[in-house]
Structure 1
Amino acid sequence: MAQGLTKIVIVVQARMSSSRLPGKVLLPILGKSLLYRMVERLLMVKHQVQVVIATSTDAKDDLIEAEAGIIGVPCYRGSLDNCLDRHYQAGKQYHADLVIKIPSDCPLIDPQIIDEVLDFYFNHQGEYDFVSNLHPATFPDGNDVEIMTMPCLEKTWHEASRPLELEHTTPYIWEHPDKFRIANVTWSTGLDYSMSHRFTIDYQSDYDFINRVYQELYPAKVNFSCADILALLNEKPGIYQINADYAGVNWYRNHLDELKTVSAQNTRSLTNQ
């Protein structure tokens, strides 16, 4: 299927019941919600995409559906804990050929990086079922892009069964290179900042960091890039320090005994601070 005929659906999983920072996606960033600011960035990609917010049927997530209405994007509501099902059902409902998984804790994601991963997919169209930039990751944490064809997602939906596969959507794909044609896009700089730079949100200090980055960059340049953020941190290293204690901390740390394709080098434990 040609690029122009491919229906690309970006599914943004979001819910209010975050265990570490409840309601984080609705925290304010320059007068709008964090989720609003993130979708604003997703809509800057050069490829034609449909953004869908995928939340749960839990009553708390009525707020997420209402926010989707404010933002002006559709909202799919499904399972609270089975994000794989949420991604599959949202992709199916909106007639996706490609589904892009981008979690709602990535409000600083660079649209150019999304385009870079999409460009790779289309330059190798028909060669891969799954293309990501985080397995292994090299970009600063919070630039997570995972692209899967609808047949790939459907096969995963039928076959995955472990709790971590259902909660995190794509581990079944990573763990089965025998079943899926997988490619990874690395950062063109040749650098690996995945464990040293944290642009994602899970803790209060992450919010403080993200809010400060927006205050510094957004007023002068709405579409500020990853390079702009890095230049800011170089100029004002105190901003980097706001959430530096959590750099490299991610969900992998709790599943190292279950994942064959992730090692201790890909995560850091909170106890090591």
Structure 2
Amino acid sequence: MSFSPLRGLLDISETGIGGSMIAAILQARIGSNRLPEKVLRPILGRPMLELMIERLRHCKTIDKIIVATTTSPEDDKLESLCDIWSVDCFRGAIDDVLSRYHGAARMYEVDVIVRVTSDCPLIDPELVDEVVNLYQRNSDKYAYCSNVNPPTYPDGLDVEVFGMATLERLNDLAIESIDREHVTTYVEKHLEDFRIGNVADGINRSAFRWTVDTYDDLQFATEIYKALYRPGQIFGREEIFGLLRRHPELMSINAGHTRNEGHTMSISKKEQLAASAR
């Protein structure tokens, strides 16, 4: 994706493609076990979450951006920042993230949910649009579209798209706490029950780690921004790949971590706790 000037942005409207309200919902909270306050960690002097929002505003398919945070007092700061950044905010349960998505989507009358986690400062607007467009073109065929089944893009470019009917179904069927916390793990466990669409890269680059879950990840993302960020412009994944080809040493910064490491550790810990309680 080439650089795009801010003046080329589409205005945020009240209805999207085909009259549907399409909203990117970002789950975010101040508390984080592995990297405390990671969503507010500065990259080039700006909170990581603000940079994510800036990138998502370049998506051509998204009408609204909603930050879904918690009712914990420590997240009052996030709500205040959302007001400053002119994005909507929903506050709900700390651990039941699925209910947060459900509540946010209902409050803002969302038809199509774009799920992005708040630890992805390198999220690619063009790729987000690709996944949304796949869903929009095939909404009668697919209940859920993503670029992670199977993953071929770097960890940190994950996008999931589904309609309100699928979110309602997940909210009804997902009973286990682990499925409530991780929102779409129920889909992963029951792929045969959902009509799935996937956007795949021609080259499997899923081993690349572009998410931010540790100090090493934050350093890596900061180096990418130092090299490529220009005010009013957005760099995409191809610019990042080009930079890494020229400077492969950058990949060693967070090479000791694996894809979905934090997610996997969280699930494993909860499964162990559940087993010990039986």
When normalised by structure 1's length, the TM-score is 0.88
User: Which stretches in structure 2 are left out of the alignment for 5+ residues?
Assistant: 1-14, 272-278
User: 1:194 deviation in Å?
Assistant: 1.2
Amino acid at match of 1:96: V
Report 1:1-273 matches (<5 A): 3-187=17-201, 190-195=202-207, 197-219=208-230, 222-250=233-261, 251-252=263-264, 255=267
Partner of 1:268: none
2:66 partner SS: strand
Following TM superposition, by how much is the alpha carbon of 1:138 offset from its aligned partner in structure 2, in angstroms?
A: 0.7
Distance, in Å, in 1 between the alignment partners of 2:132 and 2:232 is: 24
What's the CA shift string for 1:159-208, capped at 9, x where partnerless? Answer: 10112211110011222234322222211xx211112x111010001111
Q: Secondary structure at the match of 1:102?
A: strand
Shift of 1:135: 2.1
| SS class of match (1:238) | helix
Distance between the aligned counterparts of 1:218 and 1:121, measured in 2?
A: 30
Match of 1:54, SS state, is strand
Q: Deviations over 1:61-87 (max 9, x none)?
A: 111112212211011000001110001
Choose between structure 1 and 2 for higher RCO, CA contacts under 8 A separated by at least 6 residues.
2
SS at 1:246 equivalent: coil
Identity %: 37
Cα displacement string for residues 201-257 of structure 1 (whole angstroms, at most 9, x for unaligned residues): 100011111111111101277210001111111111121111111132522355479
CA distance in 2 between partners of 1:215 and 1:137 (Å): 27
Closer, same or farther in 2 for the Cα pair 1:258/1:185, shift >3 Å?
Answer: farther
RMSD of aligned residue pairs (Cα, Å): 2.1
Corresponding residue number in structure 2 for 1:263: none
| Counterparts of 2:167 and 2:105, CA distance in 1 | 9
Cα separation, 1, equivalents of 2:213 and 2:266: 15
Contact 2:24 2:62 in 1 (8 A): no
